[in-house]
Structures are given as structure tokens and as C-alpha cells.
Amino acid sequence: MKRVMEYQNYRLYVRDFYTERKIRSGFTWRDFAKAAGYSSPVFLKLVCDGKTNLSDVGIERVANAMGLVGADLQYFRALVNFNQEKDSSKKKEVFKELRAIAKENEMTLVGEDQYDYYESWINPVLRELAPQVPEATPAQVADMLAFDTQAAEVKKALKLLEKVGLLNKDSKGRFEQSSKAITTGNIEVTSLSVREMHRQMGELAVRSLDEVPVNERDISGLTVGISEDAYGRIAKEIEDFRRRVASIVMQDTDEDRVYRLNIQLFPLTKKFKGRGNNA
């Protein structure tokens, strides 16, 4: 069986542990629960099915039943907390802990590249910009960005883009965009950093109201009351619109600037119908 450090979901690891033991020795959920000190014979099955969580005490019980010690135990504790944490900021801190444990044990987490790529708005911008200005220094590239950026940030971003294979250097040392696309990888890890990317881009959109000339931006919005059915139809229109925009971008061969297109549709109220309220 793989080490726990090769997993990004503790529920899958626990299930794989159970399955392997069951194949080898007829191990049952009752046996597993008993070894972990639980009276309910199906509690750990419910955990693996995502229907309940492990408490701090439960983490230790289950880890002991699986014989985890040392760095594996440390990683399992952090992994459970990462999978069960709902707060994004706390989840990011736990992910840093997971990375540190893996690094100390010379392992790489699936999803690390994607996490790093989406963690800063500068990365996708430089992926588009760097090949267009092959002679520019990091300081000059920083000056080309619409929002204040330091040369050191540009250097860090370019290094990351090379590392993950999204930018390559030709024989003359100039950056060129590879055909490689950043993949979702570890979906939970990626979604964590994608949320951070959306937050940063949203903040830049607000700043653009004051820092970008009105003839160089297009920001508008609607505040509407709609049904759940209308929401679904609008979401489908947005999806189709994104595809049409992507097609225009693919056909464009004379780009001279990097833009960001934010499309946002979110509720401003809770549901106010269907609650049995006669008022």
C-alpha cells in the first residue's frame, strides 16, 4: 500500500487501508472500528463515505489503528485537518504544513505546481507578456504592468513559470510560451488557490476604476431579481459567452496588451420565497 504522503484525501487513504486488510485477512468495518476504539461498527465506513468527520481524538485513534508513526502520523493529522477545514485562510495554512512535511521527506504533493501558479495574479499575466517582450529585464517588465509590481516579484513568477513548464527559453535565452496547459491536478488544492486568484483579480478590477482610463476598461453590471431557473439559463449564457471570447482570442495574432476578463454572477440576498412566510 502507498504511504499516506502520497494521498491528498485522508478518507481515500483510510478506505484503501481497510480494503487491503480485508483482502488479506477478511478484515471488517467492525474489526476496524474496534481497533480504533469505536462502539459503532460502521463509524469508519461513514467517515470514508464523507458522512461524518474525525475529531481530534478520533484522528489519534484511527492513526494508531493503522499503525502510523513519525512523519506519516504527522502528515495524516495535517491531512485530516486540511480535508475537513472549511475556512479558506486556515486551509491555506494547513496546506503549507502538508508541503513542509512532504518536503522534509523528499516528496512532492500532487497539485503543488497548480497551487503556486494560481496563487498570484502576476503568473498568468507574465505567461502572456514575457514572450512578447523578449529583451525586457524583470524591472522593465514590472514597469509594463498596469498595477504596481516589484522586479523581484517578476523574477519569482518567471522562475515558477519555467519550473512548471508554462514558459521555456529558446537558444538565445528568450522566453517562449509552451503548449503545455496548467491542469487541475489535485482539485481541492487547485480550487483553494483559484479562489485566491479570483479574489486578487476582483480587487484589481476595483482598483482599475481609479487607476485605468475609462476608455481602456469596460466595467458594467446588473442587479436583478431572478428565479433558480433563470439563474441556470444565465449561467449557461455566460459559459457560451466565455467560449466565444476564447475563440476570438485564439484567432487574434497581433496582441499588444494583456487583459483580464472577470465574469461574476452572485446572490446579494438570501432566498425570500418558498419559506412559508405569509407576510
161 sits in which H/E element: helix 151-163
Q: What average pLDDT does range 203-230 have in this prediction?
A: 94
Chain segment 22-66, per-residue pLDDT in tens:
999 999 999 999 999 999 999 999 999 999 999 999 999 999 999
The pLDDT value recorded for residue 14 is 98
Q: Could you tell me the pTM of the whole model?
A: 0.74
Query: 36: closest CA among 19, 51, 14?
Result: 14
Residues 238, 223: Cα–Cα separation, whole Å:
16
The pLDDT value recorded for residue 187 is 64
Amino acid (1-letter code) at residue 68? L
The pLDDT value recorded for residue 227 is 95
Return the C-alpha torsion angle 9, 12, 17, 18, nearest 10: 140
Spatial neighbors of 97 by CB under 8 A, at least 6 apart, are: 78
The pLDDT value recorded for residue 256 is 92
The pLDDT value recorded for residue 114 is 83
Q: State the burial class of residue 117 (Cβ atoms within 10 Å of its Cβ: 0-12, 13-18, 19+).
A: buried
The pLDDT value recorded for residue 274 is 65
Residue 235 has pLDDT above 50, yes or no: yes
The pLDDT value recorded for residue 41 is 96
Q: What average pLDDT does range 69-86 have in this prediction?
A: 96
Residue 191 has pLDDT above 50, yes or no: yes
**How far is residue 245 CA from its own chain's centroid?**
24
Q: How far is CA 174 from CA 125, 134, 158, 168, 169, in A?
A: 17, 5, 12, 8, 5
What number does CATH give the domain 117-217?
1.10.10
140 sits in which H/E element: helix 138-144
Lowest-pLDDT choice from 87-101, 163-177, 211-225, 262-276 = 262-276
4-86 shares its CATH topology with 117-217: no
Cell 509552451 sits at which residue?
178
Q: Per-residue confidence at 193, pLDDT binned at 50, 70, 90?
A: confident
Query: Mean pLDDT of all residues in the chain?
Result: 91
Residues 180, 40: Cα–Cα separation, whole Å:
49
The pLDDT value recorded for residue 184 is 59
Q: Which residue has the higher pLDDT, 106 or 142?
A: 142
Residue 179 has pLDDT above 80, yes or no: no
Return the C-alpha torsion angle 224, 227, 230, 236, nearest 10: 90
Chain segment 243-274, per-residue pLDDT in tens:
999 999 999 989 999 999 999 999 989 988 76
The pLDDT value recorded for residue 279 is 43
Q: Which residue has the higher pLDDT, 187 or 76?
A: 76
Spatial neighbors of 36 by CB under 8 A, at least 6 apart, are: 44, 58, 61, 62, 64, 65
The pLDDT value recorded for residue 186 is 65
Q: What average pLDDT does range 208-234 have in this prediction?
A: 95
Q: Which CATH number fits domain 4-86: 1.10.3470, 3.90.1170, 1.10.260, 3.40.1570?
A: 1.10.260
Q: By three-state DSSP, how is residue 175 classified?
A: strand
Spatial neighbors of 177 by CB under 8 A, at least 6 apart, are: 127, 128, 131, 166, 167, 168
Task: Please list the residues that pair with 115 across neighbouring strands.
Answer: none
The pLDDT value recorded for residue 175 is 93
Q: What average pLDDT does range 119-141 have in this prediction?
A: 94
**Other C-beta atoms lying within 10 Å of the C-beta of residue 10:** 25
Each domain of the chain, given as residue ranges in start order, spans 4-86, 117-217, 220-249+259-266
